[in-house]
Structure formats: C-alpha cells, structure tokens
Amino acid sequence: MTDSRPGASRDASRIAYDGRLVCALEVNDLERSLGWYQEALGFEVVHRLDAWGWAELSTHLPGVGIGLGEVEEPHIEGGPAITFGVSDIDSARRHLESLGTRFDGETRLVADEVRLATFYDPDGNTFMLSERM
C-alpha cells in the first residue's frame, strides 16, 4: 500500500529525532530568569554552563525543556508563543499574577473550545496558558 499524503514519498528517516525539544530563549539576567522559571512555573535546572551564560530547565512535559541564554539585549520580537496546556487556567493565572507576572489582557474563550491567557517572562518572552473546554 502506498502512502498518498503530500511529501510521504520522502524518506522520513533522514532525521533521527531523539524525543527531546528545547525551546531556547534569550534573557538578560540568567540568575533572575532561573529564579522566575523555577518559582513561577515549577521548572528545574537540569544543565548549566555558566561560562557560556546558558542553562536548561525541565518542564512538566516529558522531553520538553526551556533553554535560557544570557545576552545583553534579548531579541524577543516576533518569536513563537510557547503554550502550556493546563487543567485550571484561572488557578494558574492567579499563581503567576501573585508573582507579578504581566499578562496581555484577560483570559479569552476561543470558539467555545479553548481558553487562552498570554503572559510574559521577566524579559518579555511570550507564553500562553491553554485550557481545553
């Protein structure tokens, strides 16, 4: 049987993925950012290279991590919004707001399917909370 999907004839084994994804973000104060990610989102540092101004944190999603690279001026414009699925968006938002986390407006309901809330880390990197209805 032949796979008729577009591009299916290409050899899918050309890239040997290992099951990990690291979302690399720029920050201007690695220590401050590490503290925020640990306290606000409950992530843990799993690797750190101080000489390079780099650290990786584990998330609560298997194989998905956040990498933080220290730079003088983070370039955050136009990047992707990393979205975390949560079971109670109101509770998650209250926790983040209690730490002074900035949100972009109110939590929105989209097509009666999902509630979304956009927020920012201390350097302005964009994130979202998502609760499926």
Say if residues 119 and 128 touch (Cβ distance below 8 Å). Answer: yes
Report the pLDDT value the prediction gives residue 93, as an integer from 0 to 100.
96
3-state secondary structure string, 46-84?
EEEEHHHCEEEEECCCCCEEEEEEECCCCCCCCCCCEEE
Q: What is the residue type of 7?
A: G
Cα(94)–Cα(103) distance, integer angstroms: 11
pLDDT for residue 16: 76
Give the pLDDT of residue 3. Answer: 52
Tens-level pLDDT at each residue, the chain (133 residues): 455 555 545 555 687 777 888 998 999 999 999 999 999 999 999 999 999 999 999 999 999 999 999 999 888 787 778 999 999 999 999 999 999 999 999 999 999 999 999 999 999 999 999 999 9
What pLDDT score was predicted for residue 5? 53
